[in-house]
């Protein structure tokens, strides 16, 4: 495996975790990020839209928990909300609604979790 191939393989888990896509550098659009290895364009990264990122983050959290987020207990749901707030999930339009749906709670409950965190 060449150095460039190792570089691409090393970057892939990060791109996957963000919900991005990797493509050849010559297919990069103006919003894509071209990564270079030893001065040569190696791969382009297309970042997801913010709303898609939230869905991707929620799916990754479910995989990490090994079950749907709606099946978590209250304390675990509060922790999920804390993590999502730290990652900017609630800056996304309809973020509270999306998270509430994934957690199986009301928007009011999510706001309560957020307010509890701010008051702590």
Q: pLDDT by residue (tens digit) across 18-41?
A: 778 999 999 999 999 999 999 999
Judge contact between 37 and 10, C-beta under 8 A: no
Q: What is the pTM of this model?
A: 0.64
Q: Which residues pair with 34 in a beta bridge?
A: 44
* Helix H or strand E encompassing 81: helix 74-86
Q: What is the predicted pLDDT for the residue at 10?
A: 95
> What are the two backbone dihedrals, phi and then psi, of residue 19, each rounded to the nearest 5 degrees?
80, 20
* Residue 2 parent element (H or E): none
| Rounded Cα gap, residues 65 and 117, in angstroms | 21
Q: Is 22 helix (H, G, I), strand (E, B) or coil?
A: strand
Q: What is the pLDDT of residue 5?
A: 92
Q: Per residue in 49-93, pLDDT tens?
A: 766 778 888 988 999 999 999 999 999 999 999 999 988 888 888
CA-angle at 56, arms to 52 and 57, nearest 5°: 120
Cα atoms in the 13 Å half-sphere on the side-chain side of 94: 9
């Amino acid at each position: 495996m060449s150095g460039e191939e190792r570089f691409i393989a090393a970057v892939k888990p990060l791109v996957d975790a963000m919900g991005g896509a990797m493509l050849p550098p010559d297919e990069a659009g103006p919003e894509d990020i071209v990564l270079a290895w030893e001065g040569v364009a190696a791969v382009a990264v297309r970042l997801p839209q913010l709303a898609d990122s939230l869905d991707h983050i929620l799916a990754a959290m479910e995989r990490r928990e090994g079950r749907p987020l709606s099946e978590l207990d209250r304390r675990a749901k509060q922790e999920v909300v804390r993590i999502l707030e730290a990652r900017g999930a609630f800056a996304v339009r309809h973020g509270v609604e999306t998270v509430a749906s994934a957690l199986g709670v009301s928007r009011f409950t999510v706001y309560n979790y957020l307010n509890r965190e701010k008051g702590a």
